[in-house]
Amino acid sequence: MRNLILLICGLFLISAAATAAPLHKIAIIDAEMEGDLSDAARQSSWPYRLDSLTRNLREGIAQNGTYDVVSLTGAAEVLAKNKSRMAIYNCPPCLKEIAESVGADRIMAPRVFRQSNLLMYLQMRIIDMTTEETIITRNFTFRGDNDQSWLRSAEFLIEDLRDIPEGAR
Q: Is residue 17 part of a domain?
A: no
Q: What pLDDT sits at residue 85?
A: 64
* pLDDT tens digits, 89-120: 888 888 999 999 999 999 999 999 999 999 99
Per-residue confidence band for 87, with pLDDT thresholds at 50, 70 and 90 = confident
> How many structural domains does the chain have?
1
* pLDDT tens digits, 37-59: 999 999 999 999 999 999 999 99
Q: Is residue 55 part of a domain?
A: yes
Q: What pLDDT sits at residue 99?
A: 95
Q: Average pLDDT of 133-138?
A: 96
Give me the DSSP letters along 73-116: GGGHHHHHHHHHHS-GGG-HHHHHHHHHHHT-SEEEEEEEEESS
Kindly tell me if the per-residue pLDDT of 70 is higher than 60.
yes
User: Exposed, middle or buried by CB within 10 Å (0-12, 13-18, 19+), for 52?
Assistant: middle
* CATH classification of the domain holding 38: 3.40.50
For residue 119, the enclosing domain spans: 25-168
Q: Is residue 59 part of a domain?
A: yes
Contacts of 119 (CB under 8 A, 6+ apart): 141, 143
Angle at which helices 46-64 and 147-162 cross, to 10°: 30
Q: Is residue 73 part of a domain?
A: yes
